[in-house]
Chain A
Amino acid sequence: MFDLILLISLLLISFAILVALYRVYKGPSMPDRIIALDSIGINLIALIAVFSIYMRSTAYLEAILLLGILAFIGTIAFSKFIERGVAIERKHD
């Protein structure tokens, strides 16, 4: 029963990721796509958490922290690129 609930929630999270992928494909502006990619990253964290419960293993827990950090850095870099035109600015000399 418990395993069935976990499998169903894995399926539903994958469905949520698919719906966000539709927004990445269609999104009329660039920030739309970045918001959708950010929410895909967030949903992947939940997917890994449910999967590690399903496998009864604590080996996947580093990936949660890592994916959170990587999704944040990616979104920051993209939004800075949209706003300023560069991701890393040059020093004024």
Chain B
Amino acid sequence: MNESTIEVIVSILVLIGVALALISAFGLIRLPDVYTRSHAATKSATLGVLVTIIGAFLFFGLSEGVYSVRLILGIVFVFLTAPVAGHLICRAAYRSGVSLAEESVQDDLEPILGSEEERRAKNKERHHRSS
């Protein structure tokens, strides 16, 4: 494959990745509460990074013949861990009593885990006991 074709493919991939990163950053600014913000930050930033790393992988693979195993490992690792991190931090936020946005209409976990004040008090007591 000649040089300019590689450059066109790689720059398209990198630009898609950058656009997704920007969209996730604006979602991080504009959305109303923690849960919607993590929705924006986890999904679109992960996809943007994956597309960018695939662009780098194709660039080094096609132009220099170096098919880097580290980049493949990085792709797999980011793809596996970013949603897990988002899930854990949302779970911690809910269980420590961070409130939902005022616009939200339904909270299915509330009958199970108790209201916001109860969760906050329980979390404070848990912190107190462990320290």
Chain B residue numbers with a CB within 8 Å of A49 are 49, 52-53, 55-56, 71
The answer to whether B92 touches A32, judged by C-beta atoms less than 8 angstroms apart, is no
The answer to whether A76 touches B22, judged by C-beta atoms less than 8 angstroms apart, is no
Band of interface residues on A: 35 or more
Q: How many A-B residue pairs have CB under 8 A?
A: 172
- State the interface size on chain B (CB cutoff 8 A): 59
Please, what's the 1-or-0 string for B39-67, where 1 marks a CB less than 8 Å from any CB in chain A? 00110011011001101100110001010
In the complex, 22 of the A-B residue pairs with CB atoms within 8 angstroms, ordered by the A residue number, are A9-B14, A22-B29, A29-B34, A31-B89, A31-B92, A32-B37, A34-B89, A35-B86, A43-B21, A43-B49, A45-B78, A49-B53, A53-B10, A58-B60, A58-B68, A61-B71, A65-B74, A72-B85, A75-B85, A84-B130, A85-B126, A85-B129
